[in-house]
Amino acid sequence: MGAMPFSDLFKAKKAPHSRAGASPDGIDVAEKVAIVEDIELSGAFGFWNTDSAGNLAYLSGWIVDAIGEQFADLALQPLQHVFMPVDGETDGRSLGLKLGTRKSFSGLAVQNERSENRLVLRLSGRPLYDKSGAFQGFRGTAIDVTEEFLAEEEASRLAKYDSLTGLANRHRMEQRINSTLHAFRSAERAAALLMLDLDKFKQVNDTLGHAAGDQLLQQVADRLRGAVAGRGEIGRLGGDEFQILIPDIDDRGELGEIAKRIIQILSQPYSVEEGRCVIGCSLGIAVAPYDGVEREELTRAADLALYASKNGGRGQFRFYAGDLEHEANLRKRMEDDLAEAIEAGHFTLEYQPVVSLADDRVVALEAQYCWADEDRGRVEPDTFLPVAEGSRLIVPIGEWGVRKACEDAVQWPDALVVSLQVSPVQFEASGFVDMVEDALEKTGLDPARLELRLPESVLLGDGSKVDTALSRLFKLGVRLTLDQFGTGLSSLSYLRRAPLNALRIGENFFEPIMGNDLGDIELVRAVVALAGAMGMQTIASGVHAMPLREELKRLGVDQVCGFVYSEALTAEQVSEEIADGEWSIAPSDAGTQRATRRTVFRKIGLIHEDHYYDVTLRNLSRSGAMIQGLEDVPAGTMFVLDFGQGQLAVCTVKRSMDDTQGVEFEQELVDDGAGGLCTRHRVSPYELATAGAPLQALPPGKYALATGAGAGSTFPQFKLSSNAPTQQAA
């Protein structure tokens, strides 16, 4: 309760010249006090009073009770220590300032932060002076507006946040992106925008219902919060679209790891009331100011990257690049051409030998799709298969491949197995197992001689459907191998459940890492031990060097394939090899021990001192590249390679032969999310702006200016070879 009854407080402060029993306005004092006390007891109004030092001298009992403390604990504390202005109403010093200026005030919203139950009051007050003009303190009223403020806050929250997931909504994300980019421009800071789209979410809504879909979205939001761990703002734009804004990050290596973690976390199974479900996630990344300095630019860049990742087969991430729009057009053309190629029969199969490490005997042949296009020439599988998968053309292509492989294998010795890779889209297509069974029956191939290589993502599909399909394939007698084990999302529970014959170790395990040029051998050792414990064989792919072969043999790997034994062969070449009976291949050290290189053959820039050259990039790995176009370059020469879009890589020439040089990067490249590589960092648009260029997203072109190389150099230091691209004015 208050420090004294309100009636005593009123009597002590009433005007000294009023006649007994009446107030200055002529109303009976006792009646007036009774009315005011009734109002105070009803909780409609409260009253407060401070002394001349600003310390609390009186507070209505219902307010003290609402705060949950004794008045004795509040008395003689400064009023601004008991009540703080409500956030958004005014700044935290205002109450103290108003009391300090000794001026009347009204309608100030305050709250007591120490109360378990939130209490919001609107205070009004006026200063009191005695007859001599000496300041006596403040006296005022208080109105409880807690419910009003809670309702306003909830309305504000609903206007800014998604009601289902609690994440920021589209409007708030637009505001945050705008304000962040505006503030970061003046501070020359970076920010990344990630656009997410859930894969297979529509299937959950269609099969389990919208209630299950809502539960799933709530779990997705929780997982995103865990993955981002407070580093940025997460928003739901609507449906199954999400957005993440992460400030102060432009390292694409780190962003790639965040993207991989998000994809992995969101791809784990979900439990909803209607059952178990599995979805995936595609993700696009754009970074300000490199890919845009305004919200519209950055959002569009992230959208294009997301579109590219979805078209690449889903379950991927992509960084924005200036050629994505061109890539989208090329992809559409390739889809159309692939559809025609299926009808015209322009596909063939080649076979890479799989060799037993025990005796170098060929035990299987891995089928690889080949497409001979009239305009493009020979198109590599890594180029067209992602397009085929994104457009679902992989289903008819895969059906043709199974039938063709079975037809070829029937002509081989009974000891040879034919192995085919199966995509998730192909596996999940209706009638897949029936198609395999039909191909086996029509060709007469022993099912034990057909091996299907399944990616780990297949095991994360609809549990009952996956189990049924795997069980039927197992009963058919088909061999099942888990492909690229260790790069996806499988767990031991899936390995125990699935009737697998082997684990296949992907070539990415054998890219050089710090401390071991052979790759992540300790993980390979663990995979071999796991396979042995579960009664499975191990197969290593992408084995290019003799030292790696010897190490894999020592670890107990059963079979390998790669250039250390043989490249892929045509069906005719296979027939020639098996004509003499048992087929063995002696390993060869002709291949060099290196990270897996991607053949690219494209023009890039090369900067040396104050000269800029156009050269040809022949192949590329994380740690180095092969370039062609300059003659008589000694080993040890330092270059800067310009890959475009501000991607500069410092490197040193390690080998030089005629007009071709092998270079090693000072800093390794990182995954671009689409099977390619990119630099970890890029030329900053802020640096270009300092040099006189306008602040904008990185334009295409040469970046000699950023490295100090003269764009208009005189005589080149190195002679250009006939294999160099046509030089253009720098």
Dihedrals phi, psi of 20, to nearest 5 degrees:
-55, 135
CA terminus-to-terminus distance, the chain:
84
How far is the C-alpha of 395 from the C-alpha of 311, rounded, in Å?
Answer: 15
**C-beta of residue 395 within 8 angstroms of C-beta of residue 339:** no
Beta-ladder partners of 352: 366
pLDDT at 383: 78
Question: Could you write out the three-class secondary structure of 54-71?
Answer: CEEEEECHHHHHHHCCCH
Phi, psi for 536 (deg, rounded to 5):
-115, 155
- Rounded-to-integer distance, Cα 426 and Cα 371, Å: 18
How far is 695 from 684, CA to CA, in rounded Å?
Answer: 10
Tokens representing 515 are: 């401390």
How far apart are alpha carbons 341 and 371 in whole angstroms?
Answer: 8
Instruction: Report d(CA 350, CA 365) in Å as an integer.
Output: 9
Taking only the tens place, the pLDDT of each residue in 591-650 is 443 434 444 457 889 999 888 999 988 888 888 988 999 988 999 999 999 988 889 999
10 Å CB burial of residue 102 (0-12, 13-18, 19+) is middle
Task: Report which of 249, 288, 235, 280 is spatially closest to residue 262, judged by C-alpha positions.
Answer: 280
Residue intervals in the chain for CATH 3.30.450.20: 6-151
- H helices present in 43-169, as ranges: 61-67, 71-74, 79-82, 94-101, 146-160
- The DSSP code for 264 is H
- Which one, of 660, 659, 663, 633, lies nearest residue 721 by Cα? 659
Below-50 pLDDT ranges, the chain:
1-3, 10-19, 88-92, 513-515, 591-600, 707-715, 729-730
- What is the C-alpha to C-alpha distance for residues 278 and 441, in angstroms, rounded to an integer? 33
Q: Is 436 exposed, middle or buried (0-12, 13-18, 19+ CB in 10 A)?
A: buried
Strand duo 559-560 + 377-379: pairing: unpaired
Task: Determine contact, residues 633/597, Cβ cutoff 8 Å.
Answer: no
- pLDDT the model gives residue 87: 63
CATH topology for 337-578 is TIM Barrel (3.20.20)
* DSSP type of residue 456: G
- Residue 657, helix vs strand vs coil: strand
Q: Are 281 and 315 in contact (CB under 8 A)?
A: yes
- Reported as a single tens digit per residue, the pLDDT across 661-706 is 999 999 999 988 766 789 999 988 888 877 777 788 777 666 655 5
Under 8 Å between Cβ of 305 and 220 = no
Closest C-alpha to 358, from 194, 532, 584: 584
Residues facing residue 126 across a β-bridge = 139
User: Does the structural domain 6-151 have CATH classification 3.30.450.20?
Assistant: yes
Distance CA 653, CA 484 (A): 33
How many Cα atoms occupy the beta-carbon half-sphere of 333 within 13 Å? Answer: 9
Contact predicate 167/235, CB 8 Å? yes
Q: Tell me how far apart the alpha carbons of residues 639 and 606 are, in angstroms, rounded to a whole number.
A: 7
How many CB atoms lie under 10 A from the CB of residue 625? 25
CA distance 95 to 405: 83
Quote the pLDDT of residue 153.
74
Peptide bond before residue 634 is cis, with ω within 30 degrees of 0: no
Contacts 24+ apart (CB under 8 A), 212-221: 212/272, 212/273, 212/274, 212/275, 212/277, 214/164, 215/270, 215/272, 215/273, 216/270, 216/272, 216/277, 216/279, 217/164, 217/165, 218/164, 218/165, 219/270, 219/272, 220/165, 220/266, 221/165, 221/166, 221/167
Distance CA 108, CA 265 (A): 47
Question: In 3-state terms, what secondary structure has residue 653?
Answer: strand
The CATH topology of domain 161-322 is: Alpha-Beta Plaits (3.30.70)
Report d(CA 342, CA 358) in Å as an integer. 40
What is the Cα–Cα distance from 694 to 692, expressed in whole angstroms?
A: 7
**Which token pair is 538?**
């191990």
**CA–CA distances in Å: residue 226 to residues 249, 397, 723:** 18, 40, 52
Strands 280-288 and 270-272: unpaired
Residues of the chain with CATH 2.40.10: 598-720
What CA–CA distance (Å, rounded) separates 434 from 431? 5
627: phi then psi, degrees, rounded to nearest 5: -120, 155
Of 328, 329, 189, 200, the C-alpha closest to 269 is 200
Strand ranges in 443-541 using DSSP code E only, listed in sequence order: 450-455, 479-485, 502-505, 537-540
The answer to whether the beta carbons of residues 366 and 419 sit under 8 Å apart is yes
Contact (Cβ atoms closer than 8 angstroms) between residue 72 and residue 66: no
* Dihedral class, residue 658 (left if φ above 0, else alpha if ψ from -120 to 50, else beta): left
**Quick one: residue 726, left, alpha or beta (phi over 0 = left, psi -120 to 50 = alpha)?**
beta
Name, in order, each residue with C-beta under 8 angstroms of 257's C-beta and a sequence gap of 6 or more. none
**Residue 453 to residue 476: CA distance in whole angstroms:** 16
- The model's pTM is 0.61
Whole-Å CA distances, 459 to 200, 218, 316, 320, 422: 15, 24, 17, 30, 12
Residues of the chain with CATH 3.20.20.450: 337-578
All CATH 3.30.70.270 domain ranges of the chain, comma separated, are: 161-322
Report the alpha-carbon distance of residue 529 to residue 235 in Å, rounded: 43
Q: What is residue 591's predicted lDDT score, i.e. its pLDDT? A: 45
C-alpha distances in angstroms, 3 versus 74, 130, 138, 284, 673? Answer: 10, 21, 15, 64, 70
Bridge partners of residue 245, in order along the sequence: 193, 233
Considering the domain delimited by 598-720, tell me its CATH architecture.
Beta Barrel (2.40)
Token pair for 348 = 């063939």
